[in-house]
Structure 1
Amino acid sequence: MNLATLPWRSLTAQRVRSTLTVLGIAVAVGAFIALTGLTRGIQHSFDTGIGDTGADFVVSQRNTYSLVSSSVAQDFDEALSAVAGVDQVSGVVLTVAELDESANIFVTGWPSGSFLWSSLDLYEGKAPDGPRELVLGRSIARALGKTVGDEVNLQYETFVISGLSRSDSVFNQNIAITQLPVLQDLLGRPGTVSLFQIRLSRPVTPTVAEEVRLALAAVSPLLDISDSESFAGNMRFEQTLGTIASAVSLVMILASSILVANTLLMSVSERSQEFGILAAIGWTPGMIRALVVSEGLMMCMIGSIAGVGLGIGAMYVVSWMQVFAGLLEPYITLGIVGQATGWVCLVGTAAAFYPAWRVTRIAPSAALRGLR
C-alpha cells in the first residue's frame, strides 16, 4: 500500500458515493465551461462579424448597454464623413428579430451604395434591391431549409430571400441583411441608426488611425469610438453577461467543493480502523493527511475530465437549438479549460484539508478499537 495506489482503492471501495461526488464536480466544471464559453463566444462572434465587413472603426452611442440598444442620430453621418482620413461612413441598424416564428436572429440594414455590400460574399442570388427583400447567411438558411426565392416572415412582414451569403464569421453566417430604409421603417425608427461603420482612406498606419479616432471622438460627446475588433467587448451587456456567468460558475465550483468535503468526512468516519492500522504500521500523520487529500484531488481530476466533455457538449447542444440560431457560438480555449479545472482542483483540494486534519486527531489505539 502506498500513496500512489491506496487513494484509488479507497474511492473504488465506495463506488456509489464517489461516483455521485465526481458527477457533482463534473456538472460544476461543465457549467463553468458552457457558461464561460458561450459568453465569450458571443463576444468573439460579434468581434469577428463586425470586423468582417472591412470597417476600421465603429461609432456607437456612448455607454450603450448592448449592441442592439445603441441609437445614434443619422445626421451625424455628415460630421463623421468630414473628418480627415475618413473614406466612407455607413449607418447601420442592427436588431434581433424572430424569423418564421422559430428562430431569433440578428437582422441588419445597410445603406444603398455602402462599402459594406462589397464585403458580402454571395454564392447564390443577388443583393436586395426591393422593398421586401433580404439576404440570409448560409447557416441560418440551411437551418430553416430556405433558399433563394423563398418567403420568410420577419417582424410580421413577409420578405423574399434574394440571395444567400457565406462568411468565415459565425455571426455573419446567421444574419439577415436588408436595405437600411426598409429596416428603419419596419422598426419604426426613421432618422436613427444603431451605429456607424467607418472605413479609413488607404493606406492606414497606426499613427494615422489614432489621429482619426481622436478626431471622430471630438465630433460629439454622445459618441463612442471603438476599433472593430474590440467593439463588442466594450459594451456593458457583454461585461454584465461575463460577470454573471463567472459568478454562477464559481458558486457551482464552491458547491462541488462541499461535496468533496462531505464525501471525505463520511469516508474518514467509516475508515477510522483503517487509519489506525496505517498509523500502527508506521504511517506518519502527514502521510495519512496526504492520503485523504489525494483522494479529494483524484475525485476533482476525474470530475474535471468528465466536466470538460460535458461542458463542450452542452455548448454545442444549446447553440444548435433553432431558437438560438445565430445568437450563440461555442467557444473553447485551453485558457477556459485551465480556469475550470484549476479552480475545481484548488478549491476541492482545499476542502479536503479539514477531513485530513480531523483523521489525524484520532489516537491510533482508539481508532483500532473503532472509537472516536
Structure 2
Amino acid sequence: MEKVIDVQSLRKDFKSYSSRSGLKGAFRDLFTRNYQVISAVKDITFSVNEGEMVGYIGENGAGKSTSIKMLTGILTPTSGVVRVNGMDPHREREKFVRTIGVVFGQRSQLWWDIAVQESFRLLQKVYKVSEEEYQEHMGHVIESLDIGSLLDKPVRKLSLGQRMRCELAAALLHKPKLLFLDEPTIGLDVLVKLKIRNFLKEMNQKYNTTILLTTHDLSDIEALCERVVMLDEGKIIYDGKLAELRSSWGDGKQIEFQFFEKVKKDDVVSLFTDLQVDWSEGDRDNVWVANVANDEHVVSEVIRVVVDSFRISDIKIHEISTEEVIRNIYEEGILNG
C-alpha cells in the first residue's frame, strides 16, 4: 500500500535566547547571547498509508503543530527525513502544495471581503482546475456541505459554522490526495459537527482521501479515526488502533452515585479496604463517581456496599470514555519510557 506520509527520525530544534540582567548584562548581550536549544520534536518516526484517517493528538506543547508545519513545508526539519506524497515538502513546495489540502480552525484561506464563490474561483485559477472538473466536483461538495445559500455572501458576514464549511470546501476544491485538519470543528454546534464529519467520511470513501486530524475534541477522533498517533514532549508515545488503546488502558467502569444528603469523599473511601475503588467528584451536587475494574462482581459489590450505607437517589454506570483514558495516560505518564 502506498505511503502518503513517511517520516523517519524527524527532529526540530529551536534556539531560545535569554537576556542578562542589568546594564552590564545588556551590554554583554550585544556581543554574546545566552541561549539554550529546545527540542520541540524529538526524532519521531511514523507513516500514513493512502486512504487512512488518522487522529494526531497530544497536549498543548506536545509537538503537534511543529510536526504538522514540517509535514506541510512551512518549517524545515533540523534533521531526519520527511516525504509527503512522494515529495520533500520544503524543497518541492510549489509542486507539493497542489497535492494537499489544509484547514486550520483559527485561520482562513478565504478572502475576507469578497463573496465565497469568488474565493472559490480564485482558488480554481491557483490550482489550475478545469471548468468541467470544477463544476462536477464543487457542485457535489457545495450540496453535501449545504453551502449553496452562502456563495454570494462575503466571508466576513458568515458565522463560524458557515465559514468552516466553506473553508473545508475550499481545501478540497482541487481534490487533494492528503487533507490536514487542525481543529476543524472548534467552537461549532453539534449539528454542524455532524455535517462536517459525515462529509469527511464521504470524501474518504469516494476519493480515498487520506486525512490527518489534529484536535482536542476526541469525539471527532472517535467518529472518524480508527488509528491514533499520540505525542508527548515531542515524542510519539502511542501509534495504533483507537480500539486497542481503549481496551488496554480503558478497561474499567464508572459508577455514578447521586446521594440524598451531602457526602464527603472520606465517607465513601472508608467503605472499601479490600476493593480497589478510585473516587472522583461528579459534575453535580451530592454526586460521587466510583472508578472500578470492568468486573461484574466488583461492580455489584460496590453498588451493594454504597446502597447499604447511604440513601441513594440515582445510580448510573458508564464505560470509561476515550477522553478519560487519554487524560489518565497523560496525567500518569503510563506510556512514557
TM-score normalised to the size of structure 2? Answer: 0.23
TM-score normalised to the size of structure 1? Answer: 0.21
Going by fraction, where is helix more abundant, 1 or 2?
A: 1
Larger radius of gyration: 1
Going by fraction, where is strand more abundant, 1 or 2?
A: 2
